[in-house]
Amino acid sequence: MSEQDGRAAWDREAARWFDDDAGPVVRPYAMTRGRTRTAAEGRLDLIALVIAESRAEEAVDDQMLSPEHVEIVALCRQEPLSVAELAAELDLPVGVVRVLIGDLLDAELVHVSRPVPPAELPDEKVLREVIEGLRAL
């Protein structure tokens, strides 16, 4: 292989990692430093709400946070967002967003509120009996 052929192959390879509209492509695992799981994963289902802590405003200037961490905090400061909404807003895979949220949980910059599972909600029959009992008063 000649030097010119080698250079052309390298240019083709480099072009694969560059999108004219988006700029250089960063692989999702690079954002999470290769991590695919977080200790808080059990709490981070798709509908779990992520809420920014009040002290998160000061921490956004922290140089240790990636731009994605900062964006999650900024979005959640405006209003609580679900994990799925954050993934859609950031245009990132849910697994990556879960790891990033886990980092923010560890740093105590956000907290997570999980909805009540349907199995733990009161039975409709019990609720009707309570209403009827209140009406009878």
Q: 19-48, pLDDT tens digit by residue?
A: 555 555 566 666 666 676 777 777 778 888
Tell me the whole-structure pTM to 2 decimals. 0.62
pLDDT at residue number 6: 54
Band (pLDDT 50/70/90 cuts) for residue 137 is confident
First to last CA, the chain: 93
Q: pLDDT: is 102 or 10 the higher one?
A: 102
* Alpha-carbon dihedral 125, 131, 135, 137, rounded to 10 degrees: 100
Question: Do the bridges between strand 23-24 and strand 49-52 make them parallel or antiparallel, or are there none, so unpaired?
Answer: unpaired
- pLDDT of 127 strictly over 80: yes
Token readout for 111 is: 């907290």
Most confident of 1-10, 30-39, 93-102: 93-102
Q: How many Cα atoms sit within 13 Å of 51 on the Cβ side?
A: 8
Work out the average pLDDT over 80-106: 88
**What is residue 87's three-state secondary structure?**
helix
Residue 49's DSSP bridge partners are 82, 113
Model pLDDT, residue 85: 93
Mean per-residue pLDDT, 93-121: 82
The answer to whether the beta carbons of residues 47 and 83 sit under 8 Å apart is yes
Indicate the range of 1-10, 39-48, 55-64, 81-90 predicted with least confidence.
1-10
Q: Which long-range contacts (CB under 8 A, 24 or more apart) does 15-21 make?
A: none
Query: What is the pLDDT, as a whole number, of residue 136?
Result: 86
Residues of the chain with pLDDT > 70, as a percent, come to 62
